[in-house]
Structure 1
């Protein structure tokens, strides 16, 4: 792990993310991933199932570059319906921990009016610092 997660005491303790990350090494930028299977088909119309697959797809790219979960320093979540995301928070948290464990990098959650695939409900981008 070639980075440090930053949570300064002068800021409120973040729930499920870090305020910042500082690192060195090779930077990996993971393009936005939706809940597509290996054939490019959306796995479901369900937000949680899409989130689970999209995050798994992010980790597939990180591992292909020789990285690990702990190397991820930033995640951007783009969701079509922030209210649904909030309402399904417990199930989304379970899916998150399945892939990420207790690793909480810097994160942004943004509501968007739509994604390229009209059926997609979530898209996940990431940045990793590879050792």
Structure 2
């Protein structure tokens, strides 16, 4: 995977503008993951829900023999801009713990709500695992 970064553009923080994936391999596409735990409970704050969603993503990728380094796209759906801005440090810590230094192309959208009204975040993932 090669990150697309025109020399004259400033480097984005926390994501990349695009990637090129070449060669044989397999695609892994995950449904949107929310911040609910195994019992269906949600933490009250956005940072904790993001941490749970990212951990769910890592677990699902492992089921496909993949890891965060294989993620080629993230789409985030968030229910509150102000909560997102307040939760920045906690979200950054959750990212560092799960995705480390991987910054795939990402799109963030603020929406009026998610199907489960307790959910504050839902994250979709596309990954590509090159053939060995």
Equivalent residue runs for 1:1-131 within 5 Å: 3-24=1-22, 25-39=25-39, 41-131=40-130
Shift of 1:43: 3.2
- Distance in structure 1 (CA, Å) of the matches to 2:73 and 2:92: 17
TM-score of the pair, normalised by structure 2: 0.91
* 8 Å CA contact retained: 2:29, 2:126: yes
Moved over 6 A (4+): none
TM-score of the pair, normalised by structure 1: 0.92
- Distance in structure 2 (CA, Å) of the matches to 1:91 and 1:36: 17
1:42 and 1:22, CA in 2 relative to 1: closer, same or farther beyond 3 A? farther
Shift of 1:46: 1.3
RMSD (Å) for aligned C-alpha atoms: 1.2
| Structure 2: segments with no counterpart, 5+ residues | none
Shift of 1:10: 3.0
- Distance in structure 2 (CA, Å) of the matches to 1:110 and 1:80: 8
Shift of 1:12: 2.4
* 8 Å CA contact retained: 1:42, 1:50: no
| Structure 1: segments with no counterpart, 5+ residues | none
Secondary structure in structure 1 of the residue aligned to 2:109: strand
